[in-house]
Structure formats: structure tokens, C-alpha cells
């Protein structure tokens, strides 16, 4: 297929999300970034696989979208959260910090790890992961 014949991610997303009431702003942004760079680059930036990005754009992602939405908003829409351990940080950075394993490498890392697992309103860590 020639590059000009390739279907744009924005077109795919709009068509898929039309049945669900329209394309949310963050989905449109995700699709635009995929068209501007690539699904692989966008996936790497938000911390997900290219397959997950593809499924989100096609409105076929089976898991809750809240984490991916937060990652997209932080990476591309300047969304921030007020972290109890670090102050104002990008929303995607918040998710990145939550995925980090325990490491007592410095006091800030310990504070972040603890805050993410101690009832922070921005934490997406379930109770099993927190223990």
C-alpha cells in the first residue's frame, strides 16, 4: 500500500469512536500524534504497547481507559497532578512513577513509592499491588 493510500489514524479513530458518541479530545490527540510520528513512538512515550494504542484508536481496548487517558493527557495535553511527594508533575510522569519498583536509591524515590501506595487520589495501583 502506498503512503498516500494509508488510512490515517485520525480517520480510523473518528470512524470507530463515532458509534460511541464521538471522539474524545484525548483520542483525537493520540491519533494526531500517531499520524505525526508513529504508533510505536507514541506508545513508547505514553508507556504502552503499539498494539494497545491501536486498540484504543479502534475503540476495541477491553481494559478501562483511565490510565491511558491520563498518560495521553500528561504527555500531549499538558495535564498535571498535584503529587503529595513531588508537587505538581505531568500526569504521565505520575503513572510512570507508579510503575517503578521499590528502590531505596534516594529519599525522594522512597517518598514517591510510599505516597503512591498510601491512598494518593491519583494512584491507579490496586490493593494487591500496593502490598
Report pLDDT digits (tens) over 31-44. 999 999 999 999 99
**What are the structural domains of the chain?**
9-76 (1.10.260), 80-130 (no CATH)
| Residue range 93-119, pLDDT digits in tens | 998 999 999 999 999 999 999 999 998
Name the H helices within 7-131.
9-18, 25-36, 39-46, 50-57, 66-76, 91-99, 107-116, 127-130
Task: Compute and round to an integer the Cα radius of gyration of the chain.
Answer: 17
The pLDDT, as a whole number, for residue 6 is 65
Nearest to 114 by CA among 35, 45, 123: 123
* pLDDT one-digit tens code per residue, 5-29: 467 999 999 999 999 999 999 999 9
pLDDT classification of 126: cutoffs 50, 70, 90: confident
84/113 Cα distance (integer angstroms) = 11
> What was the pLDDT predicted at 131?
45
Residue 3 confidence (pLDDT): 52
Q: pTM for the full model?
A: 0.78
Amino acid at each position: 500500500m502506498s503512503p498516500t493510500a494509508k488510512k490515517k489514524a485520525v480517520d480510523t479513530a473518528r470512524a470507530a469512536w463515532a458509534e460511541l458518541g464521538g471522539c474524545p479530545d484525548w483520542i483525537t490527540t493520540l491519533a494526531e500524534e500517531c499520524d505525526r510520528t508513529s504508533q510505536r513512538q507514541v506508545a513508547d512515550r505514553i508507556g504502552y504497547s503499539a498494539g494497545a494504542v491501536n486498540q484504543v484508536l479502534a475503540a476495541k481496548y477491553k481494559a478501562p481507559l483511565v490510565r491511558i487517558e491520563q498518560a495521553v493527557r500528561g504527555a500531549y495535553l499538558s495535564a498535571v497532578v498535584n503529587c503529595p511527594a513531588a508537587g505538581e508533575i505531568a500526569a504521565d510522569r505520575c503513572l510512570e512513577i507508579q510503575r517503578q519498583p521499590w528502590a531505596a536509591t534516594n529519599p525522594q524515590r522512597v517518598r514517591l513509592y510510599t505516597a503512591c501506595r498510601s491512598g494518593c487520589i491519583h494512584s491507579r495501583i490496586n490493593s494487591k499491588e500496593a502490598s
